[in-house]
């Protein structure tokens, strides 16, 4: 895929550039708020697992609600979804600031507020990440994904250190106030963005149907399954650094909030370095090689953090883990986006986030409990061991190459003229496609049909089967169902340019004089007629 090797190339696109810089301000405030919340928890309780739960309370909503948010991102105006999320987080941050100033904060109330902010993040992220492909050309997409991670970690390199200064000098409430103010820049940028939305002739999917379609698509996409498995492992292992760093600052290097902010800033600086090297590394190494180095580097960093009594040495190790963090997560994100068509990209990204942040949330709790029972050093050693397991699992679930498929709509389907008047919700619809196949072509035909089955089911077909005529063995019939007529139309509109090769090769094997014959039938039981037969009129797919 032709690509501009410069990581900064996406910034030449005005819409992306404006929202990216506004996101810097929002991320800056969010990280200051995170420092304030984590440090406030250490003043409210001496329990290590309660401190770790601050990270869990932020990541858990992403695990719980991202799939719903992904369905919303694919079925609604993504700009409106992001604005809703920003206003939600603004309101919660305002209330959190007020409660902190009034001295009303308790450990569980703090977790409740951070959970609500996490809900806003869960609503925002799938729409934001799916919108990147609407703001930049496909060739710039990998660099745009990396630049998003770099932007977050640029603020991570400065924000936590400043957050530590703010907490140390003015208290956690001041950190919460800075976060409240940081939302306005992004809200302003989003209100100015006027995306060009493609018109759709189909009604919006219901929430349940949209979620099911997203799950089905990912389950029938081997590349995405590999990303989910490795992302889960990485999330579990990597969560230890953010969950336990306040305790590391206090117990292992005998520091305070400034030390914590400095070490978290080192993690962010490392992430910037990793992002800057990302494009170059993609040219030099395979995706699997990069992921293995990321797992190994994170493991080494955790061993250093577990054994070092010196803040400087621990911070040097955090430079490595920060680089590995952005290399792994941006690569996972890029593979998801390059492996998914636009109609389902929000749901695919949200499922990836659900799994990865589920690992982060579960890992944060796990390492917090482990630190409480066995000590923070042993918990960090345990997270390093998980990272090594991630390398081993890579021999079975290795990352796909960076090759790019053309996932633009195929646009070959023409809705047929029907002799029976039906409504869009009429069904079930049964489809049969007849092929004439010679014996010499059977191995190739069956291989292609195996791929055809995956494509059909991935795009919404049910009860797929392949049958051979006993009286005429050269006749093969592909059959599948869709619940309704509108779902049959939707199924055909989901086909991409990359799917055309399979269809073209199957047609080339067909030995009939005409194209393979397609039977479109509606399933009926021997019961009184339903409301599917109406007076003749055009089918309105929006009813």
Largest CA distance in the chain: 87
Burial class (CB in 10 A: 0-12, 13-18, 19+), 389: middle
- Look at residues 135, 495, 147 and name the one whose alpha carbon lies nearest to residue 333: 147
Task: Average the pLDDT over 30-51 and give the result.
Answer: 81
Instruction: Give the pLDDT band (50/70/90) at residue 1.
Output: very low
Quick one: which of 188, 182, 189, 75 has its CA closest to 130? 75
Who contacts 412 (Cβ-Cβ below 8 Å, separation ≥6)?
A: 495, 500
How far apart, in whole angstroms, are the C-alpha atoms of residue 256 and residue 248?
A: 10
- Whether the CA torsion 282, 283, 288, 291 is positive or negative: it is negative
Dist CA 203 CA 543 (whole Å): 7
CB half-sphere exposure, 168, CA atoms < 13 A: 14
- Per-residue pLDDT of 358-372, as tens digits, reads 888 788 888 888 988
Rg (Cα) of the chain, in Å, rounded? Answer: 26
Mean pLDDT (whole number) for 68-88 = 90
Q: State both tokens at 418.
A: 């029907």
Q: Say if residues 444 and 509 touch (Cβ distance below 8 Å).
A: yes
Please name the helix (run of DSSP H) or strand (run of DSSP E) that holds residue 265, with its range, or none.
Answer: helix 257-284
Using CA atoms, how far apart are residues 454 and 502, in angstroms rounded to an integer?
A: 11
pLDDT tens per residue across span 318-358:
999 988 988 898 889 888 888 888 888 888 988 888 888 78
Residue 297 has pLDDT above 90, yes or no: yes
Mean pLDDT within 198-203: 69
- Which residues share a beta bridge with 520? 431
Q: Find how far residue 478's CA is from the centre of its chain.
A: 34
Looking at per-residue confidence, does 515 or 59 come out higher? Answer: 515
Average pLDDT, the chain: 85
> Of the spans 199-208, 352-361, 473-482, which averages the highest pLDDT?
473-482
Q: For residue 428, say if its preceding peptide bond is cis, omega within 30 degrees of 0.
A: yes
Q: State the pLDDT at residue 529.
A: 54
Residue-level pLDDT at 404:
62
Lowest mean pLDDT among 156-160, 166-170, 478-482: 156-160
The answer to whether the beta carbons of residues 166 and 174 sit under 8 Å apart is yes
Span 249-277, pLDDT tens digits:
888 888 887 888 788 778 878 888 887 78
Three-class DSSP labels, 19-64: HHHHHHHHHHHHHHHHHHHHHHHHHHCCCHHHHHHHHHHHHHHHHH
- Is the confidence at residue 493, as pLDDT, over 60? yes
Residue 397 contacts residue 228 (beta carbons within 8 Å): no
Q: Which residue has the higher pLDDT, 50 or 390?
A: 390
CB 56 within 8 A of CB 108: no
Q: Where are the beta strands (DSSP E) in 393-530?
A: 429-436, 462-468, 475-482, 517-522
User: pLDDT per residue over 416-464, tens digit each?
Assistant: 888 888 888 888 999 999 999 999 999 999 999 999 999 999 999 999 9
Least confident of 88-102, 120-134, 175-189, 504-518: 120-134
Residue 314 has pLDDT above 50, yes or no: yes
Please determine, for residue 388, whether its predicted confidence score (pLDDT) is greater than 50: yes
Q: Which of 334, 445, 390, 468 is nearest to 3 (CA)?
A: 334
Q: What is the pLDDT, as a whole number, of residue 435?
A: 95
Let me know the angle formed at the C-alpha of 108 by 380 and 231, rounded to the nearest 5 degrees. Answer: 40
How does strand 429-436 pair with strand 462-468?
unpaired
- Nearest in space to 496 (alpha carbons), one of 343, 337, 334, 336: 343
**pLDDT of 105 above 80:** yes
Task: Work out the pLDDT band at 130, boundaries 50, 70, 90.
Answer: confident
Better pLDDT: 90 or 154:
90
Share of the chain above pLDDT 90, in %: 32
Give 379's pLDDT tier (boundaries 50, 70, 90): very high
Burial track 198-215 (b if 16+ CB lie within 10 A, e otherwise)? eeeeeeebeeebbbebbe
In DSSP terms, 26 is beta-bridged to: none
Above 80 in pLDDT, residue 217? yes
Q: How far is CA 294 from the centre of its chain?
A: 19
Q: Are 95 and 117 in contact (CB under 8 A)?
A: no
Q: Map residue 459 onto helix, strand or coil.
A: coil
- Number of Cα atoms under 13 Å in the Cβ half of residue 134: 22
CA distance 459 to 501: 16
Q: Residue 9's pLDDT is what?
A: 80
CA torsion angle 105 46 53 234 (round to 10): 150
Contact 260, 164 (CB under 8 A): yes
Decide the pairing of beta strands 429-436 and 517-522.
Answer: antiparallel
Share of the chain above pLDDT 70, in %: 92
**pLDDT at 536 exceeding the cut of 50:** no
């Amino acid at each position: 895929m032709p690509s501009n090797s410069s990581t900064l190339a996406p910034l030449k696109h005005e819409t992306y550039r404006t929202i990216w810089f506004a996101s810097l301000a929002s991320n800056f405030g969010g990280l200051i708020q995170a420092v304030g919340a984590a440090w406030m928890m250490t003043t409210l309780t001496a329990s290590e697992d309660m401190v770790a739960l601050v990270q869990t309370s932020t990541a858990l909503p992403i695990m719980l609600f991202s799939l719903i948010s992904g369905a919303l991102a694919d079925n609604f105006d993504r700009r409106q979804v992001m604005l809703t999320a920003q206003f939600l987080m603004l309101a919660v941050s305002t209330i959190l600031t007020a409660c902190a100033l009034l001295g009303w904060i308790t450990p569980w109330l703090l977790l409740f507020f951070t959970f609500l902010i996490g809900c806003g993040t869960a609503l925002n992220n799938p729409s934001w990440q799916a919108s990147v492909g609407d703001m930049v050309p496909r060739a710039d997409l990998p660099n745009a994904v990396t630049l998003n991670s770099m932007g977050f970690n640029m603020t991570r390199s400065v924000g936590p250190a400043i957050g530590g200064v703010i907490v140390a000098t003015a208290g956690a409430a001041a950190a919460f106030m800075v976060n409240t103010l940081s939302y306005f820049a992004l809200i302003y940028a989003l209100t100015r963005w006027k995306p060009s939305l493609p018109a759709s002739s189909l009604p919006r999917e219901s929430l349940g149907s949209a979620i099911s379609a997203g799950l089905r698509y990912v389950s029938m996409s081997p590349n995405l399954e590999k990303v989910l498995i490795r992302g889960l492992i990485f999330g579990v292992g990597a969560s230890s650094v953010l969950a336990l760093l306040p305790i590391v600052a206090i117990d292992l290097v005998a520091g305070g909030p400034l030390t914590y902010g400095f070490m978290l800033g080192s993690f962010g600086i490392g992430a910037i370095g990793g992002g800057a090297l990302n494009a170059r590394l993609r040219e030099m190494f395979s995706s699997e090689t990069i992921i293995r180095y990321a797992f190994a580097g994170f493991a080494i960093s955790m061993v250093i953090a577990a054994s070092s009594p010196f803040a400087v040495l621990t911070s040097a190790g955090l430079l490595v883990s920060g680089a590995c963090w952005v290399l792994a997560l941006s690569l996972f994100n890029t593979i998801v986006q390059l492996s998914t068509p636009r109609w389902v990209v929000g749901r695919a990204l949200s499922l990836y986030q659900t799994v990865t942040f589920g690992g982060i949330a579960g890992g944060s709790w796990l390492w917090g409990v482990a630190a409480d029972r066995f000590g923070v050093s042993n918990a960090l050693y345990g997270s390093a061991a998980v990272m090594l397991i991630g390398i081993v699992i890579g021999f079975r679930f290795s990352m796909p190459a960076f090759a790019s498929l053309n996932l633009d709509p195929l646009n070959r389907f023409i809705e047929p003229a029907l002799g029976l008047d039906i409504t869009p919700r009429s069904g079930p619809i049964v489809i049969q496609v007849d092929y004439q196949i010679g014996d010499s072509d059977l191995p190739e035909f069956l291989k292609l049909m195996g791929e055809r089955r995956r494509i059909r089911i991935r795009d919404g077909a049910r009860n797929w089967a392949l049958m051979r005529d006993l009286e005429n063995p050269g006749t093969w019939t592909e059959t599948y169902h869709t619940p309704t007529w509108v779902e049959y139309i939707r199924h055909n509109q989901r086909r991409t340019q990359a799917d055309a090769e399979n269809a073209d090769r199957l047609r080339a094997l067909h030995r009939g004089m005409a194209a393979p014959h397609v039977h479109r039938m509606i399933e009926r039981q021997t019961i009184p007629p339903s409301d599917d037969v109406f007076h003749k009129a055009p089918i309105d797919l929006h009813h």
